[in-house]
Amino acid sequence: MGESCPYDGWTSPACRELTDAVARLAKTGKEFSIEELRNLGVSSETLWRTIIISFGVGASVFEAFAPDTYVVNGEAKPPRKLGAGFK
């Protein structure tokens, strides 16, 4: 959420592109989805790194997460051991 990491301040052009598109999408009242972001012209490079999370109630909303392990094809690995699709 937002243009920069709340942990260390890291940002990128993709973060800025996505933040802008989310603001524009929110004004339309449409459901957030990868397809709607694509329709707004968000680049493939940005969409490859985008995760949309829906919360059932406002009380469960968080602003960031920091996974230290991913399970891919049934195998747990740290992010640095995964391919380019996870960077």
**30 vs 25: CA distance, rounded Å:** 7
- Residue 4 domain-assigned (yes or no): no
Q: What does the mean pLDDT of the chain come to?
A: 89
Q: How far is CA 22 from CA 9, 34, 50, 53, 85, in A?
A: 20, 11, 11, 13, 22
pTM score, two decimals?
0.75
* Contact between residue 86 and residue 49 where contact means Cβ atoms under 8 Å apart: no
What's the pLDDT at 23? 94
- Residue 1 domain-assigned (yes or no): no
- Residue 8 domain-assigned (yes or no): no
Which percentage of the chain shows pLDDT scores above 90? 47
What the block records as the tokens of 40 is 């707004």
pLDDT digits (tens, 9 = 90+) for 72-84: 889 899 888 887 7
- Residue 3 domain-assigned (yes or no): no
**Cβ atoms within 10 Å, residue 86:** 13
Per the structure, the complete domain to which residue 52 belongs is given by 13-86
- Residue 21 domain-assigned (yes or no): yes
**Type of residue at 28:** T
**33 vs 77: CA distance, rounded Å:** 27
**Number of domains, the chain:** 1
**Type of residue at 32:** F
- Residue 18 domain-assigned (yes or no): yes
- Local confidence band at 87 (pLDDT 50, 70, 90 cut-offs): low
pLDDT digits (tens, 9 = 90+) for 29-69: 999 999 999 999 999 999 998 989 888 898 988 888 888 88
